[in-house]
Amino acid sequence: MATDTTSTKKIGKDISISLLIYTLPVLALYFYFVSKGERPWINNTYADAHLNVPAIFKFLEPALKHIRSWGFFAIAIVLGAIEFGLGLYDNKWTKSERKVDIICFLAPKFLLPPVIAFFSLKVLPFVLPAAVNEFSWVPFWGGFFIICVADDLTQYWYHRLHHQLSFLWRFHRTHHSAPYMGMAMASRQNFIYTVFFSQIYLTAALVYLGLGFPALVVTAIKSFITLSAHSSIAWDKPFYKYKILHPVAWVLERLISTPATHQSHHADTVDDGVGNYKGNFGNMFFLWDIIFKTGIITRKYPTTFGIKFYKQEEWYAQFLWPLFKSKIEGSELSKHGPQVGDAVQQPASKYEEAYVSSPLKKEVVY
C-alpha cells in the first residue's frame, strides 16, 4: 500500500521540503527590498490595482478580466471544439460519459462562486479584519511568484494525497474514470473534491491581502496550461520529433505539465512503461514532480486511459459521492462497495484485475 511506513516517511520528508519552498518567493522579495534599503511593508499605502495589459495583448483583456467566469468557459469551448473537429474522442464519449463531463463542467460554475464569495466577503474579514490589502505594496513580479508557488504547490499536495491516502481516493476517482483523454477531464471532478480545493481558499486569501492582479494573471496562465495538458491534442509532440527542439522540450517538460506527462498520469496501467498514475501529479508545474521524484518523462502517450475498476456509475454518484451513492453492485461508489486497497474476495474473475490495477494498490515508485 502507498500508506506504509516507508511512504509515510517519504511524504513527511517531502512536506518539510515544501514548507521551505513556500518561503523562497517571500525571502527573495524581502532581500530584494533590503538590498535597495527599502522597507515598503512598514508604511504600506494602498492604491487600487489596475489591469494594465500591453497593447499587443489588448484583445485578451476581456477574457483575462473574466477568467474566473466566462473567460475559462470560452477557452474550454474553443479547445473542446478543436478536439471534436479532429475526432480525438473516438467512440468512447458515450451518453453516460457526456452526462458526467457536462455536469462536472457546468455545475461548479454555479455552485462554487457562492462558497468562494462567502469565504472572501464574510470569513476573511471576520478572521483577518485589519489585513485587507496589507500586501498591496508587493510588486507584480513578487506577487506573481508568491501565488504561483502557493497555489500550485498546494494543489500538487492536495492531488498527491488523494492518490496516496486510500480514504481520500474516492473523492478524486471521478477525475480518472473516463476511458479517454480530453479538455473535459480538467473539470471532471467530484464536487466535494472541488469545494475543498485548499488552494482555492489560499488564493482567495492572498487576493484579500492585496495580490488580486497577480492572482488574476496566474489563474489565466494556469487555466491555459491545465486545459492544454488534459487535452487530447498532443501539442508537445513536435518538440520531441525535431532534434533542434529537443533542448526546448527538455526544459518545457520539466517545468510545466504537458500532454505527454499528464496523460501518463491518466493511464490505466503502468505495465507499458508509459503510464504513471502513481505519480506525475503536477497541475501547472511539473517541476514539483521533478523535485519530489514522483514523475516520469517518456515523451510517449498511453494508449488506454481510466481505471480498471470502473462501473460507469451514475452521474450523481460520480459528482456527489458520498452524499449520493451508486446503485451499481460492486462499485467503489456504492453503499457497501470495496475501498481501494481492500482485498475483494469473490467472484475473483470479476474483481481480481480491478484490484491489481488499483491506483493505490502497488507501491509508489519514486
Is it the case that residue 340 has pLDDT exceeding 60? yes
**What mean pLDDT is reported for the chain?**
81
Cβ atoms of 146 and 207 closer than 8 Å:
no
Give the count of beta carbons closer than 10 Å to the beta carbon of residue 296. 18
Concatenating the DSSP letter of every residue in 167-180 gives HHHHHHTHHHH-SS
- Domain limits, the chain: 5-46+70-291
Is it the case that residue 89 has pLDDT exceeding 50? yes
Q: 2 pLDDT band (50/70/90 cuts)?
A: very low
Work out the average pLDDT over 344-362: 37
Is it the case that residue 18 has pLDDT exceeding 70? yes
Amino acid sitting at position 20: L
The per-residue pLDDT for range 180-192, each reduced to its tens digit, is 888 888 889 999 9
Amino acid sitting at position 182: G
Work out the average pLDDT over 129-158: 91
The per-residue pLDDT for range 307-333, each reduced to its tens digit, is 888 888 999 999 999 999 999 988 999
Q: In a 10 Å sphere around its CB, with 0-12 CB exposed, 13-18 middle and 19+ buried, how is residue 225 labelled?
A: buried
DSSP H helices, 259-304, are 259-265, 287-291
| CA atoms 354, 356, 357, 358: torsion sign | positive
The per-residue pLDDT for range 243-300, each reduced to its tens digit, is 999 999 999 999 999 999 999 999 998 888 899 998 999 999 999 999 999 999 999 9
Give the largest Cα separation in the chain, rounded. 72
Can you give the pTM of this predicted structure? 0.83
Q: In a 10 Å sphere around its CB, with 0-12 CB exposed, 13-18 middle and 19+ buried, how is residue 130 labelled?
A: exposed
